[in-house]
Amino acid sequence: MIMKPLIVGLALVLAGPAVAAGADTAAYDVVIRETAHGIPHIQADDMASLGFGAGYAYAAKNICLLADALVTVRGERSQAFGPDAMVDLVGGPTRNLDSDVFFRAYLDDARIAAGYAAGDADAVALIDGYAAGYNHYLAERGPGGLPAACRDADWVRPASGGDLRRLLTERAIQASGGRFAMAIATAAPPAGDAATPPVPVPVSRLGGRDDAARLGSNAYALGGDLTADGGGLLLGNPHFPWQGNSRFFQMHLTLPGRLDVMGAALPPFPVPVIGFNRDVAWSHTVSASQRFVLHELALVPGDPLSYLVDGRPERMRPVTVTVPMAGADPVTRTVYDTRFGMVVAMPDRGLAWTGRIAYALADPERHDTRLVEQWLWLAMAASVGEIDRALADIRGTPWINTLAADRHGDALYADMTGVPAVPDELAARCAPSDAGAAIARAARLVVLAGDRAACQAVDDDAGMRPDHGLMPADRMPRRLTRGLVFNSNDSHWLADPAMPLIGYARIVGPEAVAQRLRTRMGKRRLDEIVTATGGRVAPADLEAMLFDNRNLAAELVVDAMLSVCWSEMGGQRAEGEGDLASACAALAGWDRTSSPDIRGAALFREAWRRARAIDGLWAVTFDPARPFTTPAVVDLANPAVTTAMRQALSDAAAQLRAAGFPADIALGAVQQRRTGARTDAAGIPVPGGDEFEGVLNEMTFGPFGAGGYDAARIYGSSYIQLVRWDAGGPVARGLLTYGQSADPTSPFHDDQTRLFAAGQLMALPFRQAEIATDPALRVIRLRASRADTGQP
């Protein structure tokens, strides 16, 4: 039977391991000590029980989120919520029916199961234990005891380890197949022998939203040559959604003698994906490398379901799926697979399936089963050298750079993402048609010919071990140093600003290109700190850097904007009525930060949103020899620039006025998290600037309107950790900006948002004495039969 948790005293925890020697291996046995802000510290004596505790702890705060995510990857959203309702996938809002077709067709349970069976047994034990912990909490609460978002919902049901493996695969394909979900689910052969349509207006990305608008991050790893104590120092600042199942969850896992790691994970990861232990800390940023390849298929004339390879026709493989409906007949749809991958169709972006050409997606992450194994080995690493070796050997970080520092004073940058093995020579030899090449240029992607077997980028039948068609580790960028490595979602090129990483294949990422403003601001602030401290950087310096909310775009252009204002106003500061005058007055009093109580930041954001696109804006264009300081200097000698700048200012003020706000409205009055919980119905002011402003504390809200910025979808600073070491182990400060729970009625829903609004990190209790003396300490012991939780 399933047993209720026992609230026990501290003596149990201090007495020793959670499970005595010789304990029943058919039972889960775990202790969870919860400290302030709902952070669980989970201790067990076997991996399965550790996973059980992680799954239970997550479900206790966010069961509705995980249940909803499982409905998605099972392909059951149409049955649960209707076929025409929308789900927010990584590629953008998608009809439930299309989502269901994609996940049923793209995720192969047999292949996934085989990959895990051939992999790490500890990873499998953690995953199955996590499912059991989720099921235990669900049975304990019952359908009527769940939060309002899923109370008594028939789509909430127990999870299997296979369900979680499907969800983990969805995490792996977020920068590859997942971005083409609708393009795969809706791809259908043409009715006739249509010609290839012209390439549309160039697009920044194929496969959904631009990465910069969805997922991003900053991470800074400093080696002992730059730190005050000679040890390593790491600041991790990922920018992820504040809603949905990509919210981080803080936790601390201990398996005595093997594992002691704290950090944060996305569900259903049973170990932290960003974290620290007694020796090393790491964080991640979304990589600029390309994790898929498009192959241009030459179709057999008159037969759009066959394509030519080395002059011989091959038949596409139909994949037919049936999607259940609520109160209606199931819907059956067929999509198509090839030796190069699944067929995609995006006619509005040039990827049309015509009578002559189709495109197939080669995705090395489609059957990646190494994610949990990868992070388990990172969690057990004792140095950045071990981090580096684990990344190279396992290759389980699908789309993220890794930055790490250790107590010895070493630092690491590595892009070991799932990049297909396409050296520039292969890309040149396998160039597609002129139409395919135009698409590749417009979307900044590698597109290969699909009419030759020698051009196949990923052998989908090769299995995932060891590399499954990935670019070899020695051809991927990595740097060990005792200086500085950092990344803010630009490519590998300047991750070590003292010694650029160059000479890598184009698919790995661009070199000698203009950097985003966040990258430039990070370098500017680090240079200022190193100069001010004489190269002895302390954690407080980096914490201040993150929360000072300096706005690089403002530092580059506000003086020019004011010059435009003064010239328009006859050399005087703007005064009086009118949108231009009010805009200029707001900027004149602004301190050029994106802090909640500061007036002028909102006006500038909306003006810069328009002005950044002005043709010929910069008098000093990008110079690869000065990548952190160019482009720069607004070209005020160009009348077209000054006219457009004046219009941008006036239009921004008019926009605020139409929404009912003065031009100098405080940022915190219009940029808020509206939790709907307990108090603060008006919302909690949130610091930070939008992606294009160059604010390290990046926060992206929805469009500006009558209520200020739309807070229904927020992306930005999420789990923050700042880690150093002393003789006793790690000394960590951190924050989960949106809190541990998605349930608005939970005390852990917005408690950390209030700290974030005040610009405060908190001490993270890692050591046993810190946990034991936490005033909010609550201890739970869980025991359950494995059979009763539906797991092996």
Q: Which tokens is 482 given?
A: 């005792």
Token pair 């068609």 is found at 469
Residue 7 has pLDDT above 50, yes or no: no
Contact between residue 521 and residue 509 where contact means Cβ atoms under 8 Å apart: no
pLDDT at position 191: 85
Do both 175 and 191 map to the same domain?
no
Tens of pLDDT, residue by residue over 383-403, are 999 999 999 999 999 999 999
Rg (CA), the chain: 27
* pTM, 2 dp: 0.94
Q: What is the pLDDT of residue 239?
A: 97
Residue 17 has pLDDT above 50, yes or no: no
Q: Which of 578, 608, 576 is nearest to 590 (CA)?
A: 608
Domain boundary among the residues 435, 456, 477 is at 456
Query: Which residue among 431, 456, 481 closes a domain?
Result: 456
pLDDT exceeds 80 at position 471: yes
Rounded alpha-carbon distances, angstroms, from residue 683 to 192, 456, 669? 55, 52, 9
Residue 3 has pLDDT above 60, yes or no: no
Q: What pLDDT digit, counting tens, does each position of 403-443 carry? A: 999 999 999 999 999 999 999 999 999 999 999 999 999 98
Q: Considering Cα of 7, then 13, then 19, then 21, what sign does the dihedral take? A: negative
How much of the chain exceeds pLDDT 70, in percent? 90
The pLDDT assigned to 787 comes to 78
Judge whether residue 213 has pLDDT over 50. Answer: no
For residue 736, is pLDDT > 70? yes
Lowest mean pLDDT among 99-108, 327-336, 564-573, 699-708: 564-573
Contact yes or no for 118/111 (Cβ under 8 A): no
Q: Is residue 643 part of a domain?
A: yes
Whether 478 maps to a domain, the answer reads no
The Cβ of residue 682 has, within 10 Å, a number of other Cβ atoms equal to: 10
Pairing of strands 274-276, 762-763: unpaired
Residue 252: the pLDDT is 98
Q: Both 704 and 556 in a single domain? A: yes
Q: What Å distances lie between residue 119 and 116, 281, 373, CA to CA?
A: 5, 25, 8
> Which of the residues are catalytic?
217
Structure confidence by residue, pLDDT tens digits, 149-189: 999 999 999 999 999 999 999 999 999 999 999 999 999 99
What pLDDT sits at residue 214? 56
pLDDT of residue 792: 59
Domain check: are 145 and 210 in the same one?
no
Q: Is residue 30 part of a domain?
A: yes
Segment 364-378 shows an average pLDDT of 96
Judge if the upstream peptide bond of residue 631 is cis by omega within 30 degrees of 0: yes
Beta bridge partners of 666: 599
List, for residues 341-360, the tens digit of each pLDDT value: 999 999 988 899 999 999 99
Distance between CA 546 and CA 710 in Å, rounded? 24
**Average pLDDT of span 286-315:** 97
User: Is residue 159 in a domain?
Assistant: yes
Which pLDDT value is given to residue 674? 87
121's CB contacts (< 8 A; 6+ apart) are: none
Same domain membership, residue 193 and residue 117: no
pLDDT at 195: 55
Contact 779, 7 (CB under 8 A): yes
Q: Is position 415 within any domain?
A: no
| pLDDT of amino acid 458 | 83
Q: How far apart are CA 307 and CA 320, in angstroms?
A: 19
Is residue 642 located within the same domain as residue 705? yes
The string of pLDDT tens digits covering residues 646-665 is 999 999 999 999 999 999 99
Write down the pLDDT at residue 567: 78
pLDDT at 6 over 80: no
Residue 520 has pLDDT above 70, yes or no: yes
104 and 136 both lie in a single domain? yes
Q: What is the pLDDT of residue 204?
A: 43
Residues 630 and 686 occupy one common structural domain:
yes
Mean pLDDT of 727-734: 97
Give residue 116's identity as a one-letter amino acid code.
Answer: Y
Compute CA distances 743 → 454, 677, 710, 734, whole Å.
52, 9, 20, 22
Closest by CA position to 281, among listed 219, 217, 373:
219
- Maximum Cα–Cα distance across the chain: 87
Local confidence band at 742 (pLDDT 50, 70, 90 cut-offs): very high
pLDDT at 789: 73
- Count helices and strands (H / E) in the chain: 22, 35
Give domain status of residue 108, yes or no. Answer: yes
Structure tokens given for 247: 């919210």
Q: Kindly report the CATH number assigned to the domain that includes residue 578.
A: 1.10.1400.10
Is residue 10 pLDDT above 60, yes or no? no
Pair 695, 573 in one domain: yes
> Is the same domain home to 171 and 207?
no
83 pLDDT higher than 80 = yes
Flag whether pLDDT at 8 surpasses 70: no
Residue 84 in domain = yes
Q: Domain of 115? A: 6-15+26-182+781-789
Q: How many structural domains compose the chain?
A: 3
Residue burial 101-123, b: 16+ Cβ < 10 Å; e: rest: bbbbbbbeeeebeebbeebbebb
Tell me the CATH number at 344: 2.30.120.10
194: pLDDT strictly greater than 60: no
Q: Which residue has the tokens 């496969």?
A: 207
Instruction: Provide the CATH number for the domain around residue 88.
Output: 1.10.439.10
Mean pLDDT over each residue of the chain, to the nearest integer: 92
Residue 123 lies in a domain: yes
20: pLDDT strictly greater than 50: no
pLDDT band at 24 (very low <50, low <70, confident <90, very high): low
